[in-house]
Amino acid sequence: MTNTSETAVAPRVSAGALRGQLKRLRQGDKGLLPILLGLIVLVIYFEIRNSVFLSSGNLTNLFVQATIFILLAMAEIWLLLLGEIDLSVGFVSALGATTAVILLDNQFHWPWFAALPLAILVTTVIGTMQGFIIIRLRLPSFIVTLAGLLGWEGVLIFFVDRQGTGGTIPVQEKVLYGLVNSNLSPMWTWIFVLACLAVLIYLIVRRDQSRRASGLDAVPQFVTIAKAVALLVAGIVLVMIFNKNRGTFTVLEGMPYAIPVDIAMLAAGSFILTRTRAGRYIYAIGGNAEAARRAGVNVNRYRLLAFVFTGFTAGVAGLIYASRLGGISDNVDSNLVLLAVASAVIGGTSLFGGRGKMIHAVIGGLVIATIYNGMALINMSAATQYIATALVLLVAVAMDAVARRGSTPSR
Amino acid sequence: MTTTPESTSPQTPPNGVSVSGDSGVASSTLLSLRGITKSFGAVQALKHVDLDIPAGQVTALIGDNGAGKSTLIKAIAGIYAPTSGEIFWEGRKVNLHTPRDAENLGIATVYQDLALCDNLDIVQNMYLGHEESRHLTLDEIKMELNTKRVLSELSVSTVQSVRQLVGSLSGGQRQAIAVARAVMHESKLVIMDEPTAALGVSQTAQVLDLIKRLASRGIAVLVISHNLVDVFEVADRIAVMYLGTLVSSGPASNYDTSSAVEIITTGGSRADATASFK
């Protein structure tokens, strides 16, 4: 440490940046590599056991299955970053969905552009309310949202049963139903994916260029190009999966609308976390709230903001949930929230606060959906599915804890 | 209660002041405390403290546990409002009710726990709460360039990359980052609470060097320390507290280890330290 002299000050392309990345790896920002490798192993295993797994029909189904885990995990990540947790997120999102379904289909017949935003508003208000109680009364989020878990399920059952439709309300309105069950046309799938890739690659190239132009450590040019090419290939493969006709009797092709919803939430969440003060402060509070406070950050304001974001994201998740089930019932899976937390942690977000990214929700959600989807394909029992998920989660949490220990300051 | 008499009249800005070292007379008083008293209920933690802190010099505040050192720096940092007494900043009377008041004057405090976020990198920590932004988004390039500039100006050269997480730094490096952050925002007075307490030999040397460099840049430094070796290594002036009273203060050359220890432990004689120990 003492003999590196001027390395920090002199602009040094590549070597410094690479060393920094290695260092980060050891510190616990383990990156996406291990979990992506794990995902590939799972995929290969299921494909060997049943060749239907990698068919475009099943993969599309898998992506749609993953959507709900992904969105709920994103909701959870806002709070996990603060070292908080929301146990009520599953029922809150279902309650939002109930709002939408009732307003759209029963006696109200609201238009979708009024009902869907209102549903999201409901969950946002609930999230804000819980956050307010937690912050103002200085209660642990674990307990307040545990009360939410019980209470909001009660409210949900009350409203669903009051409709007198036997405990389930079907979705008949076509926009909400179509979120999961309708697709972009193949051409629009191409346009959408290529546009996303163009923006993403532009941002990456521009960032690396301006770092180089300012004389700061930057990855070598070929790494930038490799990243862009990899993204392009992945995007094209994705389009080809979605655009293959997967129908048996009718033509069924294109990307389900749920995927752009995921991508929009991922983009918005990542933008806030990495490019704005709010995001920076959420990380800071999760790392050392006292330090943030002394630096002049209004800690409670940004904590509350995270609860607002959680509520909002839960609302979006709820709409996807109702669309996928084709309705809402008074019997919402209470494992949803646990799988949401599991997705976030499997993806690489720390339970202890301060470490995590929105993309972790996507990776973790895909892992969980892959396990569920693949196990069903090879006819494994529910028992095995649960146990397999548990093992993956355990490995992820263990890695998180070990990484955390590795990152404690060496003095 | 023997303080060396010093001018409290309005002075030139500290940056224009030459470093007077151990000359004994401060050329420019940045901060003056007059009759500062702080009571917590029946307990008087500070009793009529008079202290002058000159620009461009390192003032060491020493004393036993409970002597009132921490209370005094908290009064200067705006955390405790004094019960009575006056504070003059560059000759003007000021009120320091909140840490923000102190910060706005240019007083930065580096507490013992440093208040760094281990999960953020050096740049992010340096700018925490003061982020630069452009088009509503954070201007990372500007912040990174400035961080590098500040660190190189302070000759903090042992960090490999300013994008390293602070959690991975050594104790001395962390201290250096905390100090660099304090001076980055145009601070004129940097208060440091036990800056070397948790450090090894070479890291202590690095931090002491850093403190001297701050002073040579015209910044006033107030250091609390228990370690007299460090104090004599770095301090231009020494102020000794005993049971809430400032019992002695003067140029560091007026003291030696044994005289300092005697004043710390007994409160010294009523006679002027300058006279008795020269």
Q: What's the complex ipTM?
A: 0.84
C-alpha B176/C-alpha B166 separation (Å) is 11
Could B117 and A283 be called an inter-chain contact, meaning their C-beta atoms sit closer than 8 Å? yes
Q: What is the pLDDT of residue A70?
A: 97
Which CATH number is A367's domain given? 1.10.3470
The pLDDT of residue A406? 59
Q: Give me B138's structure tokens.
A: 């954070």
In the prediction, which pLDDT does B21 show?
A: 39
Domain that holds residue A169: 49-182+289-400
The 10s digit of each residue's pLDDT in B203-254 is: 888 889 889 988 998 899 999 988 888 899 999 999 999 988 898 888 988 8
Q: How many residues does the structure list for chain B?
A: 278
For chain B, list residues with pLDDT below 50.
Answer: 1-26, 270-278
Tell me if A152 sits within 8 A of A123, measured CB to CB: no
Measured between beta carbons, which residues in chain A are less than 8 angstroms from residue B162?
Answer: 8
Mind listing the domains of chain B with CATH numbers? 1-10+26-106+190-278 (3.40.50.300), 110-187 (no CATH)
Single pTM value for the model: 0.84
Contact (Cβ atoms closer than 8 angstroms) between residue B63 and residue B264: yes
**Do the chains contact at B138 and A1, CB–CB below 8 Å?**
no
Q: Determine the pLDDT at residue B275.
A: 44
Q: Which of A18, A209, A210, A216 to mutate to test the interface with B (most CBs of B within 10 A)?
A: A216
Q: Do B169 and A409 touch (CB under 8 A)?
A: yes
User: In residues, how long is chain A?
Assistant: 411
User: What is the pLDDT, as a whole number, of residue A4?
Assistant: 40
Give the number of other CB atoms < 10 A from CB of residue A305.
Answer: 19
A407/B167 touch (CB, cutoff 8 Å), yes or no: yes
Interface of A with B in 351-380 (CB under 8 A): 354-355
In a domain, A39, yes or no: no
A10 touching chain B per CB within 8 A: no
DSSP string, chain B: -B------S----GGGPPP-TTSSS-S-EEEEEEEEEEEETTEEEEEEEEEEEETTSEEEEEE-TTSSHHHHHHHHTTSS--SEEEEEETTEEE---SHHHHHHHTEEEE-TTTT--TTSBHHHHHTTTS--EETTEE-HHHHHHHHHHHHHHTT----S-TTSBGGGS-HHHHHHHHHHHHHHTT-SEEEEESTTTT--HHHHHHHHHHHHHHHHTT-EEEEE-S-HHHHHHH-SEEEEEETTEEEEEEEGGG--HHHHHHHHHH---SS-HHHHH-
Q: Chain-centre distance of CA A63, in angstroms?
A: 13
Tell me the residues of chain A between 18 and 37 that have a Cβ less than 8 Å away from chain B.
Answer: 19-20, 23-24, 26-27, 29
- Contact at CB, B128 and A280, closer than 8 angstroms: yes
Domain count, chain A: 1
Q: Is residue A367 part of a domain?
A: yes
Distance between CA atoms of residues A102 and B87, nearest Å: 66
Residues of chain A short of pLDDT 70, as ranges, are 1-31, 106, 403-411
Residue A258 to residue A175: CA distance in whole angstroms: 11
Q: How far is B269 from chain A (nearest CA, A)?
A: 40
CA distances from A246 to A47, A60, A255, A257, A373 (A): 18, 9, 11, 16, 17
Report the distance separating Cα A248 and Cα A395, nearest Å.
Answer: 39
Selection from B210, B219, B211 nearest residue B188 by Cα: B219
Name residues 215-274 of chain B within 8 A of A (Cβ).
none
- Asked if B162 reaches chain A (Cβ–Cβ under 8 Å), the answer is yes
Q: Does residue A32 form part of some domain?
A: no
